[in-house]
Amino acid sequence: MSNKGPIILIDDDEDDQFLIEKAIKSRQLPNEIRFFANGQLAPDYLETTTEQPFLILCNMNMPLMNGLELRQRINQNKYLREKSIPFIFLTTSANANSVKIAYQESVQGFYKKSPQYTGLQEQIRLIADYWQSCLHPHNLS
């Protein structure tokens, strides 16, 4: 994992995209943000880029391909599995079943988006701080 690689944000809600981007920038993270409005667009980028993304923040409920279907597609792709990109759900709604299924697909985190901006900033801080200090196959060399 490259701490400097892009943050992949997959969310169909433009307001949420704006707020998450604002929260990321408020942390002064050096990472570019790559936006995808649905889960179907992200694999095309992920499967062809040579970049090593820092992490993926993904909404659960989206048109065309939801977050869980995207996670399953990543898990089925050897190239993407070997990239070991941290995959975190950051979603508006959550229930026990969706959390259980997400972890069965080996997600590295599941957050219900805070309804307050300061709460969202704190969630982004926690996520970024953890992954910046976590050992990872791509930062051991």
Sorted by where each starts, the structural domains of the chain and their CATH numbers stand as 7-139 (3.40.50.2300)
The sheet with strand 109-112 has its strands ordered as 33-36, 7-10, 55-58, 87-91, 109-112
Q: What distance in Å separates the CA atoms of residue 29 and residue 124, rounded to the nearest whole number?
A: 10
- In tens, the pLDDT along 127-141 reads 999 998 888 776 665
Bridge partner residues of 33 (DSSP):
7
Structure tokens at 37: 């409005």
**pLDDT, tens only, 39-98:** 888 998 999 998 999 999 999 999 889 999 999 999 999 999 988 999 999 999 888 999
**pLDDT given at position 138:** 65
**Does the pTM of the predicted model rise above 0.95?**
no
Q: How far apart are CA 65 and CA 61, in angstroms?
A: 8
CA dist 22 and 120 (Å) reads 10
From CA 35, how far away is CA 37, in angstroms rounded?
7
Residue-wise pLDDT for 95-115, tens only, equals: 899 999 999 999 999 999 999
